[in-house]
Amino acid sequence: MNINHSFLNKHGFIIIITAVVALSSGGCSNDGPAIEAHPQVITFAAPPVPNSGDHTATVVATASSNLAVIYGSSTPAICSVDSRTGVVTGTMSGTCTVTANQSGNTHYAPAAQATQDITFNLSQAITFAEPPTLSQFDTATVSATTTSALPVSYSSTTPSVCSVNSGSGLVTALLTGDCIIVADAGSLHATQTIPVAAPTGITLPGIPAQVTATAGTATNTVEVRIGATSSGGSPITGYSVTSSPSGVTASGTGSSIIVSCPTTCAGYSFSVAATNTAGTGPASAPVEVITAYNVIETFYEPDTQPNNSLFIGSFTLNSTTGTVTGLHGILSESMTGSSAVYPNDTMTWLSLNNQLSTAPVTLGGVSGLLVTTFLLPTTNTFTTAYGGDGWAPGTGYAMYYGFPTALNPKAGGVGNAYAMIFVNTANPTAALTQAQIDKLAYADCAAGGMMSSVCMTGTTVAGYGTIGSMSGHPVSQTITKGITP
């Protein structure tokens, strides 16, 4: 392995060099199929017993080799299983069969598949929220939830009285009478009856309610959605959207309006007003543009090929304020697992759920944020024996926090880990420049990503003055739009 030899020699950490060499000759070698073929078996812990109505449970299986197992479901109509965590989600009553597999490595042969049965007793039902109040020509949104994990779709059995958007539940009252909405989730059905009253007269439309704004599909666009509007007794002929600060406008006849911005939509919030035959009503309060995104980061690891260090996560961007919240995800430990590559890998993955650092930067002429999420609810990652803040990329000589108090505190312990991403707040899905890639970083001081006192890190010389502890370095980051509730 390519460790920072000059530092190790300078400070005389001979024990660290010995540990690294041992890993290089064994645990980091993925150069072919099982060559020792030691047998291994998979054993499940006692099966969980979900209570009636519970639709989640967690199974635990271990391999005698201590290699990570991969879970699956052989009864997909009954349940799904998170392949790494063992969290089982029941979708209907019945017996769920969970599988566990371990594909082996250069020391262990593949294990025979093990299975475990779990019984779900789901009192499945769909429940509507309180019905909205409707007069003729009004719009409002219905909402139904289900005890199953199935998505809900909507339809109208009284299409002359009302229509409904199958996905969003937006109802439009067309005539007076009873509007009957059906919610479906697989074999489950529920109905809600909403009386549609006659208008008492014609006035200006009411203030549009339940207004939301998210980034549009196209660059420099925003999608504004309206969840409910009192018609004022006359059909709504259109909606107008205005920005704050002023300068961006749009209009449309539907409840979803695409707004195009001249250069960027960052920094804007948006208001909506409705128009009918009596005129244009008052505008809604401005809403901020809030969008969910997914991110995948790849760090090339020359000494653990074909495994790389990967961070797979998600976050929420408020484009109006330019802030990122809720960055979380999973980080792979490339020193673990077999030669099977992602997504069929058997690497150990760490859960990074603590966004503790956000730093504004300008990289390659583009303003954005370096956002970091941690394994532990603290930034303490690297040693401060030689200065530094305890976690900044490229510092601490890749030694775990607390070094050199004890040479190997990881026996049964857990060190910290983190992943750092770059968010272009004006255009999050834009491809990164090399200057932006150079500032990506990760560190893994947890037991599976540590060589005695040395943590696994991924940095570039251009970004932080040093390459990763095993020559690992960032090569790509991809951000895609997620699903915003």
What pLDDT does 143 receive?
95
pLDDT value at residue 484 = 61
What percent of the chain lies above the pLDDT cut of 90?
Answer: 66
The domains found in the chain, sorted by start residue, are 42-120 (2.60.40.1080), 126-197 (2.60.40.1080), 212-287 (2.60.40.10), 290-481 (no CATH)
Pick left, alpha or beta for residue 12 (phi over 0 → left; psi -120 to 50 → alpha; otherwise beta).
left
HEC per residue, the chain = CCCCHHHHHHHCCHHHHHHHHHHHHCCCCCCCCCCCCECCCEEECCCCCCCCCCCEEECCEEECCCCCCEEEECCCCCEEECCCCCEEEECCCEEEEEEEECCCCCCECCCCCEEEEEEECCCCCEEECCCCCEECCCEEECCEEECCCCCCEEEECCCCCEEECCCCCEEEECCCEEEEEEEEECCEEEEEEEEEECCCCCCCCCCCECCEEEECCCCCEEEEECCEECCCCCCCCEEEEEEECCCCEEEECCCEEEEECCCCCCCCEEEEEEEECCEECCCCCCEEEEEEEEEEEEEECCCCCCCCEEEEEEEEEECCCCEEEEEEEEEEECCCCCCCCCCCCCCEEEEECEEEEEEEEEECCEEEEEEEEECCCCCCCECCECECCCCCCCCHHHEECCCCCCCCCCCCCCCCEEEEEEECCCCCCCCCCHHHHCCCEEEECCHHHEECCEEEEECCHHHHCCCCCCCCEEEEEEEEECCCC
Contacts with 300 (C-beta within 8 Å, 6 or more apart), sequence order = 308, 472, 473, 474, 475
Q: Which residues contact 164 (CB under 8 A, 6 or more apart)?
A: 142, 154, 155, 156, 170, 171, 172, 181
pLDDT tens, residue by residue, 198-230: 999 999 999 999 999 999 999 999 999 999 999
Model pLDDT, residue 239: 97
pLDDT beyond 90 at 368: yes
pLDDT digits (tens, 9 = 90+) for 117-143: 999 887 778 899 999 999 999 999 999
| pLDDT surpassing 90 at residue 21 | no
Answer yes or no: is pLDDT of 337 > 50: yes
Is the pLDDT score of 27 beyond 60? no
pLDDT greater than 60 at residue 14: no
For residue 32, what pLDDT band results from cuts at 50, 70 and 90?
A: very low
Work out the percent of the chain whose per-residue pLDDT is above 70: 89
Residue 372: the pLDDT is 98
- Model confidence at 22, in pLDDT bands (50, 70, 90)? very low
Judge whether 204 and 236 are in contact, CB under 8 Å.
no
Q: Is the pLDDT of residue 359 over 50?
A: yes
With 0.85 as the threshold, say if the pTM is over it: no
pLDDT digits (tens, 9 = 90+) for 457-475: 999 999 999 999 999 999 9
The pLDDT value recorded for residue 452 is: 78
pLDDT for the residue 485: 55
53-57, 84-88, 171-175, 220-224: range with lowest mean pLDDT: 53-57
Tokens representing residue 78 in the block: 């009954």
Looking at residue 386, its pLDDT comes to 82
Tell me, what's the pLDDT at 347? 86
Calculate the average pLDDT of the chain.
Answer: 87
For residue 441, the model assigns a pLDDT of: 98
Local confidence band at 414 (pLDDT 50, 70, 90 cut-offs): low
Query: CA distances (Å), 196 to each of 180, 321, 406, in order?
Result: 10, 40, 74
Average pLDDT value for residue range 367-383: 95
CB atoms within 10 A of CB 73: 17
For residue 391, pLDDT over 90 is answered with yes
pLDDT per position as a tens digit, 59-112? 999 999 888 888 889 888 888 898 888 999 988 888 999 999 988 877 888 899
Inter-residue contact 337 to 313 (CB < 8 Å) = no
Q: What is the mean pLDDT of residues 168-177?
A: 96
36-50, 193-207, 428-442: range with lowest mean pLDDT: 36-50
Residues contacting residue 12 through CB under 8 Å, at least 6 positions apart: none
User: What pLDDT score does 341 carry?
Assistant: 86
